[in-house]
Amino acid sequence: MLIALDIGNNHVTIGGFDGDDIRFVAAIAADERQTGEQYACALKNVFALYGAEREHITGAALCSVVPGLTPIMQRALRFLTDGPILTVGAGIKTGLNIKIDQPRTLGADRVVTAVRASRTVPMPCVIVDLGTATTFTVLDQTGALVGSAIAAGVRLGLTSLKEYAAQLPSVGLETMPRSVLGKTTAEAMQVGAVYGAAAMIDGLIDRYAEALGQTPTVLLTGGMAQTVRPYLRTRTIHEPLLALRGLADIWYKNHGSDRKAN
């Protein structure tokens, strides 16, 4: 079994792969104050919960947007497997053609989602990842990564409003107004956050279509994808496990192509 870890700002998402099949997906909190030993215990408990025994783990692949957590998680994984541990970064074979300035500054999470997209959906493609930040990753007709955009995420925008505007309340997004015409301050903030994010996505996709010369496939991923997707006018494909599957693709590319279940 291959273990894939996507280390985000708030959560570490964990996937267990038998070949191309995902046996389980779980999440634990991302916290740089934890030690490698503490994370090893947390991961061991997750693996036990899903019946992933140490002898069945052939290796691990991870990508991270939290540099301080990367060595901690690497140390944790070394307690749990004798197999190779791959960290997406410079020197790792991905097969992705990156045509941007300063490609080494591109986030590892965006590399892994682009790798998966380039293998599985028609090109050109735009990957919209709705997490702490909302990111747009653009692949051209050949599958090359040619551009991107980064904006504040939906929840980050709401948190910033509450922090810097004294009269604005904290609001949740569990229940949304039925109309774009918000009737209360809370509804106005919800409309701005969610309908606003949807409008931004629709508008940028139109502009990317102009830049690319054709309408792109749009992949939607990230923790806020399901919240925003109902308000989009753009046709999208929701792929919540895009990063984990991209990690598996990269691991197999670097450690052999055998994807048979272990």
What confidence tens digit (pLDDT) does each residue in 85-141 have?
999 998 899 999 999 999 989 999 999 999 999 999 999 999 999 999 999 999 999
Q: What averages of pLDDT result for each successive group of 10 residues across the chain (262 residues)?
A: 96 95 96 96 96 92 96 97 94 94 93 97 98 97 97 95 91 92 96 97 98 98 96 97 97 74 37
- Check residue 195 and report its DSSP letter: I
Is-contact 25 15, C-beta < 8 A? yes
Q: Under the phi-then-psi rule, with left for phi > 0, alpha for psi from -120 to 50, and beta for the rest, what region is 64?
A: beta
Token couple for 252: 């197999």
At 127 the pLDDT is 98
Q: Which residue has the tokens 């140490």?
A: 54
Residue 66 CB: number of other CB atoms within 10 A?
16
Token readout for 4 is: 């894939």
**The CA-based dihedral angle spanning residues 222, 224, 227, 232, taken in that order and rounded to the nearest 10 degrees:** -70
Bond before 124 cis per omega within 30 degrees: yes
* pLDDT recorded at residue 262: 36
**For residue 183, what are the CA distances in angstroms to 169, 187, 188?**
15, 6, 7
Q: How many CB atoms lie within 10 A of CB 246?
A: 33
- Structural domains of the chain sorted by starting position, each given as residue range(s) with its CATH number in brackets: 2-87 (3.30.420.40), 103-244 (3.30.420.40)
pLDDT at residue 257 in the model = 54
> What was the pLDDT predicted at 90?
84
CA atoms of 159 and 157, how far apart (whole Å): 5
* Residue 214 DSSP code: S
Name the DSSP letter for residue 191: I
Characterize 173-184 residue by residue with b for buried, 16 or more Cβ atoms within 10 angstroms of its Cβ, and e for exposed.
eeebbeeeeeee
Q: Known catalytic residues?
A: 109
Please tell me what DSSP assigns to residue 29. Answer: E
The residues pairing with 3 across neighbouring beta strands, listed in sequence order, are 16, 60
pTM: 0.93
Taking alpha carbons only, the member of 3, 98, 35, 109 closest to residue 65 is 109
pLDDT of residue 259: 53
Instruction: Give the position of tokens 């919960």.
Output: 49
